[in-house]
Chain A
Amino acid sequence: MQATMKRGGKVNASLLYKIFGGVLFLYLFLGFMVVPCLNTLTSIFTTKDAAGRMDPLAVIRFFFAGNMPSFVLNSLRLAVVLVITVNVVGISIVLLTEYFDIRGAKILRLGYMTTLIYSGVALVTGYQFLYDKDGMLTTWLLQLFPNMDRQWFSGYSAVVFTMTFACTSNHALFLRNAIRGIDYNTVEAARNMGAKPFKVLFRVVMPTLLPTLFSLTVMTFITGLCAMSAPTLLGYNSINPEIVRLAGSTTADESFPQARAALLSIILALFTMILLTTLNHYERKGHYLSVSKTKARLVKQKIQNPAANVLAHIYAYVLFIIYMTPVAMIVIFSFQNWQAIKGKAMDFSGWTLINYFGAQDYSYTTSRGKTKLRPDAISGVFANEKTLGGIRLSFILSALAAALACVIVVVAVNYIFKHRNKKRAALVEGCLLFPWLLPTILICYSYRVFFNQNIWYVFGNNLYYRENVQFLIIMAYTVVKLPFALRMVKAAFYAIDDELEDAARNLGASPVVTFLRVKLPIVLPSVLAVFALNFNALFTEYDMSATFHSSYGTSYAMVIQSMCNEEGRDGMNMNASGRRCASTVFIMLVSGLILYLVYGVGARDLGERLARKEKRKKLWARITGKAGRNSEKTETA
């Protein structure tokens, strides 16, 4: 209903933009989402038997005859158990830091939030370092309980243990926000009517958290189903590691591995689709939004029963220790020499910076009694080209992909909001949410198989060939992160008052200027937050790196994995574990800094920023004023 611009030139230009945008969008959607995945789907039904005849049902028969269902069942078992354990721990950490009055809550929160900067393969290897058969903690526990199973940390239980604590990041972010959004007056009203604190928790607080909890449950279930780094490194036969293994296998080794991998990823996709459809349906039914106009801030509840209070404190700190021990150990051991790390015991005389900077030679005696010297066999993160190369590559690829995802989503969401209630907006949104329905591994696997040939629509290139794989990784990273970015950025756009846009237009701003000068600055903090979260996740991600693993696409996660494998062999890579610790510390610092900049600094509004600036100015004036007076004094003296 808005006045259409009828100036010839403008109409043509905007029409051109529209056509260009539409064609580009379709190209990306069809070329990098639909076609590769369809190729995977059809590959199941195009397997050939030994005689070269097409046998569409061969894989299905193989599925029921072989051990493939066990991978599916294992994944399901893991997902179901994780839903329970992750929710218990996730809800606990949020209630302990946000709802109940627990001493030291701020420090506890920092500990519980370490998973935000310490995740994926770095976390799993960190846990291994502590808990595996000759891990530090296992050795220590064995001294206390000699009959203990040395191998306790392997397979299913190890995966459950690790993932229970590793997968609470979403709880720490979203459940925390939800609980902070509760109107405290409702709690007071319930208390006023005679409800005890725990009754209030279960009858008033928890119901308002249900939508968030439901979403978190679905996400956790999918995480469990699609688990990759923990099962691979700790040895558990679930779907994803099997897909990656099959993808790298050939028909010479086993029967139609590619088609089997495709079938497994399709099964995974089906589960994901069912879960997300349920979630979407549930979300559409409506939320328990607060109807209050004057929200009161939540006041922490003191646990009145002394015994319960003590128990809650013990529970909180035990969780804190579980979260913090691997992090603390990683930091400590990043400053220890390789002998100490190998012996898995802290050596107070073994402090060193060699895991970070510089290189040392390593001399050793061979079995024939000769002394050999390996130059630079001990080297720091910043001196080891391979490690540094992995970090650099991951950094660049993740940054590019995270930025690309943000740009695509911001432009798309602006379009969606402009045309809301219209079918095209829903279509664009659906396309961007599409990757959510497909497990990451299906997308990566499809990319790897489909683009490992010359494809006409990418100018006849093979994108899996040599350096091209880096482009493929960026595309995969971007596609996989689109749905999350879309949901977050869309939420941010809701915060833009329609009247702001009207005001800008009334003051003469064109739609582009309105977008750049008015709307973008408002959503920028959220966009940067999405960038940071995506970047951090991609930087250490394992699934895609493993699928695309090639000498031109050796990302940080792959470097970490290979470092562990080669450690100490033939006197090479002596301090690989130490370097791994050091690189993890470095990445934690980078991730932490980014999160601080985005959430701490970026989340401040203009008013807060100006107020802080004013404060700094005053402080500076006071310092310089004093200094000035002092110098005057000395002069007069």
Chain B
Amino acid sequence: MIQLNDIVVRFGDFEALHKINVHVREGEFFTFLGPSGCGKTTTLRTITGFIEPASGTVMMKNEDITHVPIEKRNIGIVFQSYALFPTMTVRDNIAFGLKIKKLKKAEIEEKVRTIAKKVDLRDDQLVKAVSQLSGGQQQRVAIARALVTEPAIICMDEPLSNLDAKLRVQLRNELKKMQRDFGITTIYVTHDQEEALTLSDHIAVFNKGNIEQIGTPNEVYNFSKTEFVANFIGDINRLEEEMVSGLKLDPAEHHFIRLERVRVNRPEEGEEYRVRGVIESREYYGLYIKYYIRAAGQTVKVIEKNDGISIYEPGEQVTVGIHPSDIMSYPGGN
């Protein structure tokens, strides 16, 4: 569907993207994930045409669109700020692109009505000013406006970042449902790894203008290709000297284990490395509890389901078990 080949973007002397290669398939939900300033929005803006790359090509349906003007690309966008026109009503916002295309009035009315229904906007909301809507409703207007012109792809630039935590989760689910219903290819930019993991079919993890890994949520989480990806996605323990030697791992490499893979007070399993530890402190999250355990000369973070069984008090002695197959290792460096 869309393909980026060796894309390089420069701003003056600064190279923002170094030979980026991405392939997004038709109908999939593809996420660009990374910390701020990593190049994910720049990549998105290159796809939409706001930025022209210094080299490389953007292909859509096997056609080179690298130099096609923004308005001719047929790519919809939902902006971080939603970029709803404050001087227009909801209806005028949604109809803007159709009016530019000089569609007939009746046709515009019909299309606006249909899309509004799909994104759950009522008729009385259509005559309102965008400032009169809630954050969630505004987001739906932004999506409707982007979809009404029937683009081949829809790009979303951190569309949930302006919302409060609860609404974010709620809208995340709605977004996924809408994408599934519309079946539209979606490229999604976020720095929130939870968002990326729950929404995406594929994730590209960006770092300093490079893509570190492209894979399914499970691949990036459980089989992180680089140390950066392992650290950026989810919480993780780095194993220190004593554990590394106890597990007979290569001391020249860096070794990590996810919190939920560390086993506390469980029966021994296979060739597990076991060590005694003391609960240092705990953080209560409701759904689960995070323990800080002092073991083998380091602090190990562990999470346990809050099921009333594995509850430990600070100072309590526990056994920590680590399975070698759960360890992710990366070449050491500085």
Q: Is the CB of B52 within 8 A of A2?
A: yes
The stretch of B79-87, B193-201, B325-333 in contact with A is: B79-87
Give the distance to chain B from A226, nearest Cβ to Cβ, in Å. Answer: 38
**Residue B119 is within 8 A (CB to CB) of chain A in the complex:** no
Chain A residues touching B, majority SS: helix
Contact, CB under 8 Å: A607 / B129: yes
- The answer for the CA separation of A499 and B162 in the assembled complex, in Å, is 15
Task: Give Cα distance in the complex from A508 to B128, angstroms.
Answer: 24
- Check B77–A506 contact: CB distance below 8 A: yes
Contacts A2-B50, A3-B49, A509-B71: A607 and B77 contacting too (C-beta < 8 A)?
A: no
Is A605's CB under 8 angstroms from B77's CB? Answer: no
The reply to whether A497 and B52 contact each other, CB–CB distance below 8 Å, is: no
Alpha-carbon distance A565/B154, docked complex (angstroms) = 74
Nearest-neighbor residue (CB-CB) of B157 within chain A: A499
Taking a contact as CB atoms under 8 Å apart, the answer to whether A503 and B86 are in contact is: no
Within 8 A of B (CB), among A506-522: 506-510, 513, 517-518, 521-522
Q: Please report B residues at the A interface, Cβ cutoff 8 Å.
A: 11, 48-52, 67-71, 75-77, 79-81, 83, 85-89, 96-97, 100-101, 127-132, 145, 149
List of B residues within 8 angstroms of A500 by Cβ:
83, 85
Q: Which one, A1, A502, A505, A606, contacts B89 given CB within 8 A? A: A606
A1 to B70, CA, bound (A): 12
Partner of B77, one of A1, A3, A5, A503: A503
Q: CB distance A505 to B70 under 8 Å?
A: yes
Query: Shortest 4 CB-CB distances between A and B: which pairs?
Result: A507-B97, A521-B87, A607-B129, A606-B129
B83's contact among A499, A508, A607, by CB below 8 Å, is which?
A499
Q: A497-B83, A502-B83, A518-B85 are in contact. Are A605 and B131 (CB under 8 A)?
A: yes
**A505, B71: Cβ atoms under 8 Å?**
yes
A1-49 interface (Cβ within 8 A of B): 1-3, 5-6
- Interface residue A504 (Cβ < 8 Å from any Cβ of B): yes
> By CB atoms of chain B within 10 A, which of A1, A503, A509, A607 has the most?
A503
Interface string of A589-633 (1 = CB under 8 A from B): 000000000000000011101110000000000000000000000
Q: Would you mind naming 23 contact pairs between A and B with Cβ atoms under 8 Å apart?
A: A3-B52, A3-B67, A3-B68, A5-B69, A6-B67, A497-B81, A499-B79, A499-B81, A503-B145, A505-B71, A506-B48, A506-B70, A507-B96, A507-B97, A507-B145, A513-B100, A517-B85, A606-B87, A607-B128, A607-B130, A610-B89, A610-B127, A610-B132
Given contacts A506-B48, A606-B129, 4 further A-B contacts (CB under 8 A): A3-B69, A507-B100, A509-B71, A517-B85
Give complex CA distance A524, B89 in Å: 17
CA distance A504 to B146 in the complex (A): 11
Given A2-B52, A3-B52, A610-B132: A507 and B149 interface contact (C-beta under 8 Å)? yes
Please tell me if the beta carbons of B149 and A522 are within 8 angstroms of each other in the complex.
no
Chain B neighbourhood of A6, CB < 8 A: 67
Tell me the A residues contacting B by CB distance below 8 Å: 1-3, 5-6, 497, 499-500, 502-510, 513, 517-518, 521-522, 524, 605-607, 609-611
A605 to B67, CA, bound (A): 38
Contact of B129 among A1, A506, A510, A605 (CB under 8 A): A605
Nearest opposing residue in chain A for B46, CB measure: A1
For the complex formed, measure the closest distance between the CB of B277 and the CB atoms of chain A, giving whole angstroms.
42
> Which residue of chain A lies nearest to B54 when distances are taken between CB atoms in the complex?
A1
* Cross-chain contact of B87 among A508, A513, A522, A611 (Cβ < 8 A): A522
B106 → chain A closest CB, angstroms? 20
Known interface pairs A518-B85, A522-B87; A508-B100 also in contact (CB < 8 Å): yes
Given A505-B71, A507-B71, CB of A605 within 8 Å of CB of B86: yes
Is A503 touching B83 in the complex (CB atoms < 8 A)?
A: yes
Which residue in A506, A509, A522 is a CB contact (below 8 Å) of B86? A522
Closest partner residue, chain B, to A605 (CB atom) = B131
Q: Smallest CB-CB separation from A6: which chain B residue?
A: B67
Contact: A502 with B100, CB < 8 Å?
A: no
- Complexed CA–CA distance, A379 and B75 (Å): 70
Q: How far is the CA of A508 from the CA of B130 in the complex (A)?
A: 21
In the bound complex, CA of A303 to CA of B300 (Å): 58
Shortest B114–chain A CB gap in Å is 18
Cβ–Cβ < 8 Å partners of B79 in chain A: 499, 502-503
Cross-chain contact B131 with A606 (CB below 8 angstroms): yes
A500 to B81, CA, bound (A): 9
Q: Give the distance to chain B from A500, nearest Cβ to Cβ, in Å.
A: 5
